[in-house]
């Protein structure tokens, strides 16, 4: 990906991804059993980039200020922001491993996912020393890790085929 919010040396980012799944219930050795109607293993890995910051933060910007000096008006150029040419893409890397299982012709289904998401080079406004003339500057700072387990359960409790339908979901 390319983004014009970064300087020329950090404009481009590379964010690949892939995923795969195996529907085990389609295997010949699973065809003749009745208890498990669906069984699928899934895995995925990928990266995404974040460039959601204002334009021109990697450049020096100036504004004009007018002052009265005696009987004349003086126009002075003042810095509007402190540039950061080192700003680069914030990147998140995600890994997911999951299983989907259905029982009794999918009247009861269970989904389980293990996931981890690591984000680095967070785009944030960082406090800087007042001697710079500014209170903050956009920088790539820190990293975050989110990981966990997601479980969901779905059941079809009653289905009269055209009459009354009742299902339950839990996650």
Q: Are 24 and 38 contacting, i.e. CB atoms less than 8 angstroms apart?
A: no
Phi, then psi, of 130 in degrees rounded to 5: -65, -25
- Quick count: other Cβ atoms within 10 Å of Cβ 90? 21
Render each residue's pLDDT in the chain as its tens digit; 171 residues: 999 999 999 999 999 999 999 999 999 999 888 899 999 999 999 999 999 999 989 998 899 999 898 899 999 998 898 889 999 999 999 999 999 999 999 999 999 999 999 999 999 999 999 998 899 999 999 999 999 999 999 999 988 777 888 999 999
Q: What confidence score (pLDDT) does residue 109 get?
A: 97
Q: Are 90 and 122 contacting, i.e. CB atoms less than 8 angstroms apart?
A: yes
CA dihedral 84, 89, 90, 92 (to 10 degrees): -170
Phi, then psi, of 10 in degrees rounded to 5: -125, 15
Distance CA 83, CA 30 (A): 62
The model's pTM: 0.79
Q: What confidence score (pLDDT) does residue 23 get?
A: 97
Buried b (16+ CB within 10 A) or exposed e, 46-83: eebbebebeeebbeeeeeeeeeeeeeeeeeeeeeebbb
Number of H helices, E strands in the chain: 0, 10
CB contact set of 25 (below 8 Å; sequence gap of 6+): 36, 37, 38, 39, 40
In which region does residue 35 sit, left (phi positive, over 0), alpha (psi from -120 to 50) or beta (all else)?
Answer: alpha
Q: How far is CA 3 from the centre of its chain?
A: 17
């Amino acid at each position: 990906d390319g983004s014009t919010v970064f300087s020329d040396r950090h404009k481009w980012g590379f964010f690949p991804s892939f995923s795969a799944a195996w529907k085990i219930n389609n295997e010949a050795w699973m065809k003749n059993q009745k208890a498990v109607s669906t069984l699928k293993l899934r895995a995925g890995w990928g990266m995404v980039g974040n460039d959601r910051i204002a334009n021109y933060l990697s450049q020096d910007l100036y504004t004009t200020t007018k002052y009265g000096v005696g009987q004349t008006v003086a126009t002075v150029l003042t810095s509007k922001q402190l540039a950061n040419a080192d700003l680069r893409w914030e990147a998140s890397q995600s890994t997911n491993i999951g299983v989907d299982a259905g029982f009794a012709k999918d009247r009861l289904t269970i989904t389980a996912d293990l996931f981890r998401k690591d984000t680095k080079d967070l785009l944030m406004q960082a406090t800087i020393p007042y001697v710079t003339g500014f209170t903050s500057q956009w920088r790539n700072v820190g990293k975050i890790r989110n990981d966990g387990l997601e479980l969901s359960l779905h059941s079809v409790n009653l289905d009269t085929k055209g009459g009354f339908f009742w299902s339950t979901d839990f996650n």
